[in-house]
């Protein structure tokens, strides 16, 4: 849906990303929710994946419609997608229930919270993920973003960790165009110290052609700040790519990348792993 400004119509994005390490392997469980209001209908979507050791397995795909509401960003359950609601409508957990296959992400105590210039919110929380009888503790990133109808859509985001020592979130101000990369912003924790970077540069170093969408997708990146207090490199280890169904010379695409690399902050170097979410509408 594109309005008279030439930009897509408004939409609300809510994402919960669970991450933990088991031995040498990274376990990633992103739950991505999107709500798009129209004049007479609210379109809703919920998707979820488990990435264990570089193998992506989708478990949740629900699409449905609801009547218009004053609070379209509110997370609602549907079908196999369920939620645990706490005080004042706070989401305390999300679940996938389908017969014997049950997955549950429980949100725990808050670790840190940051906000961006366009009302986006990022929260780090303790969390636990249950897959059947298996229960794992880890860290959760809760993202809430509004894509307004009068400005370009917000861009890529990444969630990176280095054990318990470092957690970093970065977000592009706009979708990433190779010719004119957007400004990125970053927030992080080194041990218990919180840091913010209002201007980061993230460049695509290597790309590959993804023919189904007829677009280039990144394979590796460099990251730097103007004063070089932050520098780093990332590369893709495994990916899950979703292609839009629209027609045209290029198609919408969303790529979830498991990444690994190195980030240096004030000359302290950290090996990092995590999720890089790339999207072009």
Mean pLDDT, rounded, for 117-143: 94
Other C-beta atoms lying within 10 Å of the C-beta of residue 59 = 16
Residue 152 reports pLDDT greater than 90: no
Contacts of 114 (CB under 8 A, 6+ apart): 121, 122, 123, 169, 187, 194, 196
Cα–Cα distance for residue pair 202/239, rounded to 1 Å: 19
Compute CA 5 distance to the chain's CA centroid, rounded to the nearest angstrom: 26
Instruction: Give residue-wise pLDDT tens across range 249-269.
Output: 899 999 999 999 999 999 999
Give this prediction's pTM: 0.93
Other C-beta atoms lying within 10 Å of the C-beta of residue 86 = 11
Domain ranges of the chain: 1-153, 155-281
Cα–Cα distance for residue pair 175/32, rounded to 1 Å: 17
23 band by pLDDT with thresholds 50, 70 and 90: confident
Instruction: Give residue-wise pLDDT tens across range 185-243.
Output: 999 999 989 999 999 999 999 999 999 999 999 999 999 999 879 999 999 999 999 99
pLDDT of residue 20: 97
Domains 1-153 and 155-281 share a fold: yes
6 band by pLDDT with thresholds 50, 70 and 90: very low
281 band by pLDDT with thresholds 50, 70 and 90: confident
Residue 181 reports pLDDT greater than 90: no
Residue 172 reports pLDDT greater than 80: yes
Rg value, the chain, Cα: 18
Q: 191: helix, coil or strand?
A: coil
* CATH of region 1-153, choose from 3.30.1370, 3.40.50, 1.10.357, 2.40.370: 2.40.370
Superfamily (CATH) of domain 155-281? AttH-like domain (2.40.370.10)
Q: Over the chain, what is the mean pLDDT? A: 92
Q: What's the burial of 31, exposed, middle or buried (CB within 10 Å: 0-12/13-18/19+)?
A: buried
């Amino acid at each position: 849906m594109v309005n008279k400004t030439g930009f897509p119509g408004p939409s609300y994005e809510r994402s919960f990303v669970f991450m933990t390490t088991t031995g040498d392997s990274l376990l990633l469980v992103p739950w991505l929710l999107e709500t798009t209001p129209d004049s007479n209908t609210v379109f809703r979507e919920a998707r979820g994946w488990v990435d264990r050791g570089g193998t992506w397995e989708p478990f949740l795909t629900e699409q449905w419609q609801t009547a218009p509401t004053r609070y379209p960003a509110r997370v609602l359950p549907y079908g196999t997608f369920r939620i645990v609601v706490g005080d004042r409508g706070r989401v305390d957990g999300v679940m996938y229930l389908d017969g014997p296959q049950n997955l549950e992400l429980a949100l725990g105590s808050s670790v840190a919270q940051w906000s961006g210039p366009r009302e986006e919110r990022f929260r780090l929380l303790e969390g636990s993920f249950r897959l059947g009888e298996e229960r794992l503790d880890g860290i959760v990133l809760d993202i809430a973003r509004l894509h307004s109808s009068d400005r370009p859509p917000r861009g890529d985001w990444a969630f990176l960790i280095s054990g318990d020592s470092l957690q970093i979130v970065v977000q592009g101000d706009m979708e990433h165009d190779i010719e004119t990369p957007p400004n990125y912003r970053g927030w992080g924790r080194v041990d218990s110290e919180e840091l913010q970077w209002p201007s980061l540069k993230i460049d695509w170093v290597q790309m590959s052609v993804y023919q189904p969408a007829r677009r280039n997708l990144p394979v590796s990146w460099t990251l730097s700040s103007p004063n070089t207090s932050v520098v780093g490199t990332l590369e893709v280890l495994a990916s899950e790519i979703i292609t839009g169904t629209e027609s045209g010379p290029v198609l919408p695409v969303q790529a979830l990348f498991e990444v690994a690399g190195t980030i240096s902050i004030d000359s302290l170097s950290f090996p990092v792993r995590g999720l890089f979410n790339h999207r072009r509408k």
